[in-house]
Amino acid sequence: MCFSAEADLAAGIVVGVVAIDALRHVRTPAQLPLAAVPAVFSVHHLTEVLVWWSLQGHLSPTVGERAAWFYLLVAFGVLPVLVPLAIRAVEPSPRRRALLGVLAVAGSAVALALMAATTDGDVGTRIDGHHIVYNAGVAHDGTVTTAYVVATCGAMLLSSHVPIRWYGAANLVVVSLLAWVQQTALVSLWCLWAASTSVLIAVQLRRSLAQQGRAEPRLGVSACEHPSS
């Protein structure tokens, strides 16, 4: 079926449950940014529900406009910075941490460029079949898309942790497909996919906790210091 307000609402609720599970398995401060990623996605898609309802006439245009601004703030200003920083925080390899630091800087530059373009004009939204098109003054070109993908999916693929790498691979395939099929769908549909697959973040945190439980009786150190992947 087509994506809709109901799909965003269901995704927001389900990913919210995943976020609670992820946060419950946090045992070190370094894990907190990673555990927060599903929570950010949950709020993100519950916000898009308001955009849908506004465009369908169920809510006022003012509510829809503010919701659209917040949605783009998360998509453009938060995710390209949060994702590489969150993965870097739990990365045990010094070499990979250095590369992830570079991607965090790149993500920050992407976020600044996207937000600058967004704030230069009014945010327009419209329903285009199975997704919402956000017209925010951002050019849908290969440079912007590539930089965004490198900062987010690239950071996931650099991780030493297998579930996070799988998360990155899945997102890379989908974002590439969407960019090829329809650029205007990229913001809405990829974020929905990324949110739905963020269950792999909860899987990683559960694995870390299990590894810690096995390691402590023998070594007295955390799993983050001796990853199995």
- Dist CA 205 CA 123 (whole Å): 37
Answer left, alpha or beta for residue 220, where phi above 0 means left and psi between -120 and 50 means alpha: left
Name the pTM for this structure.
Answer: 0.79
Read off the pLDDT of each residue in 8-28 and give the average, rounded to a whole number. Answer: 89
Other CB atoms within 10 Å distance of the CB of residue 123: 19
Q: What is the dihedral of CA 109, 110, 116, 117, to 10 degrees?
A: 150
| 135-182 tens-digit pLDDT | 876 665 567 778 888 888 899 999 998 888 988 888 787 777 766 555
